[in-house]
Every structure is written in structure tokens, then in C-alpha cells.
Amino acid sequence: MARATQKQALGRGLSALLSDPSNDITSVDDKNADKVVGSIVELDLNSIDVNPFQPRTSFNEESLRELASSIKELGVIQPITVRKIEFNKYQLVSGERRFRASKLVGLATIPSYIRIANDQESLEMALVENIQRQDLDPIEIAISYQRLIEEIQVTQETLSDRVGKNRSTIANYLRLLKLDPIIQTGMRDGFISMGHGRALINVEASADQLDIYERVLRDRLSVRETEAIVRDYREPSVKKPGTKKAIPLFAKDAKKELSSLFDSHVDIKINGSGKGQFVFPFKNREEFQRILKLIKREK
């Protein structure tokens, strides 16, 4: 809570700084530029223009509506990134889906990372330093990795060298950003761990992710228990036709004896702990009555 309040206070301070024409920041050499690079501020959506060089020109409407619904309920979890082009005017660098979805639900402002003309090196330093902090949650780390890849335009291999982490570690963090936003929020708030998130990411459908997530919270499941549920979801145990579990020799002998005694097929099922049951199948009522009489006679 203290961290969120601190971020909000910082955002308000930056807003005042950026709205002062006498203190317009256009270069990393300008006064207070160090307060801008790598920080988050709430920006007026109307002050942001989309990037005309954005290679992506079409956006799935249904997907946008789903994101808009999530933003309406939870807010913008991952800030967009903009480049300052003039006083109180910005150009979108990344996050156009979040930008468009925020407009759909009528938001006035959106949390944004601000970049300035020549801040490439400063931004990289700020992000790498941020990743080394001890109090970051897994989603914050994942977002920092994503920003380095998208905005500094480095590969996962190069990023691995720069932050001193294995490429597989970076990939595991980045995959967390594919989780449903509600689950991402739960991880940021400490309701589940990164281990839970890594298990849930193997479930493709968002609705199924949420079903399992709710069960994890309700039953306070461990990571291992969550992994088992996900395995059952992905690979449900289906008994192949014509295959039967082997039964002990004593049960096989009894099965033959009973089948002969009742002049009908008798099955015996035994589980791993040694417990079992007799099964007397019948085709109709008459056969049922016949078997029942024989059982009573044997008593």
C-alpha cells in the first residue's frame, strides 16, 4: 500500500512538473530530466497521438472490448510508453491496445512511462537498475524486461547478458504477461506466487485460467497442487478401449470360480491400495433375479 501511495505521489509531482511551460523538458541534459526517465505519470489521453509508423494497423474489436472490460474493472495494470514530442504533447511508443481500450471505457488519463528525445541510454540504465531491486513483484519484473526488449530493441540473449540472468529466466517472466489481468493483479497483490502463475500460464483459455485461480485461492493450494490440477486439465486420464488394469493372481482365480458358479461373467476391480469390489453385470431383470437367488443360496 505504501509503495502504491508513493507511486501516486510521484505521479502527481511529475504531472505538475510537466505542465509547467517554464520547465519544459526536451533532453536528458535538461533540469529534472532524471525525474522523468523510467517514472510513471498519469497523462491526459487527449495529449497522446498514436505513432504513424506503428506497423500494426488493425486491432481485433472483440479482443479490444475484452481488454476494455478488464480495464474498467481493474484499471490499466501495465502503463503505456510515450515519447515527449513538444510541450504537453506525446507520441505513443508502445501499448496501443491499452490506449485504445482506455478510450473505449471513457478514461480521461492513463498511466504512462515518458521518454524524451535522447534518453535511450538513460532509460536502459533506469530499467536495469529497477530490475535489480528486491521489492519488485514478478509482474513488475516482467514488465521491465518487456520494456527493455520493445523500447531498447534488444533480443532476449542480449538482455540476458545485460541483466545477468539466464535467458530461460527472462522467458519465464515474460510469459506471465500472458496471464489474465485478474491473475496478474492477484500476483502483484501477493495472493499467489510466481510458481502458481507459471503453472496457470499452461492453460490457454482465460476462463479456465480464472476457474483454476479461484480454486487456488479458495482452497489455498500449493504450487505443486496447482501444477497437478493443470496437468489433469491438459491431459485428462482417458482409459483406452480394451485395456484393463492387471489384477493379482488370487483375484484372477476367484474371478474364474465365481464366473463358473453364477454362469455369468464376473469382474473384480482392485485399486493400488489393495481395496476392490466384485461386479456382477446382467442383461435384463430376469438375469438379475437369477444371480440374486444364487447369491442368497450361497449365503
Q: Tell me if residue 96 is catalytic.
A: yes
* Catalytic site residue from 96, 225, 227, 287: 96
Pairwise CA distance, residues 148 & 128, whole Å:
8
CB 224 within 8 A of CB 195: no
Take residue 94 and report the three cell numbers written for it.
508502445
Take residue 37 and report the three cell numbers written for it.
526517465
CA distances from 57 to 29, 62, 82, 112, 244 (A): 35, 16, 18, 22, 56
Q: Which residues contact 237 (CB under 8 A, 6 or more apart)?
A: none
**3-state secondary structure labels for all residues of the chain:** CHHHHHHHHHHHHHHHHHCCHHHCCCCCCCCCHHHHCCCEEEEEHHHEECCCCCCCCCCCHHHHHHHHHHHHHHCCCCCEEEEEEECCEEEEEECHHHHHHHHHCCCCEEEEEEECCCCHHHHHHHHHHHHCCCCCCHHHHHHHHHHHHHHCCCCHHHHHHHHCCCHHHHHHHHHHHHCCHHHHHHHHCCCCCHHHHHHHCCCCCHHHHHHHHHHHHHHCCCHHHHHHHHHHHHCCCCCCCCCCCCCCHHHHHHHHHHHHHHCCCCEEEECCCCCEEEECCCCCHHHHHHHHHHHHHHC
Q: Catalytic residue positions?
A: 96
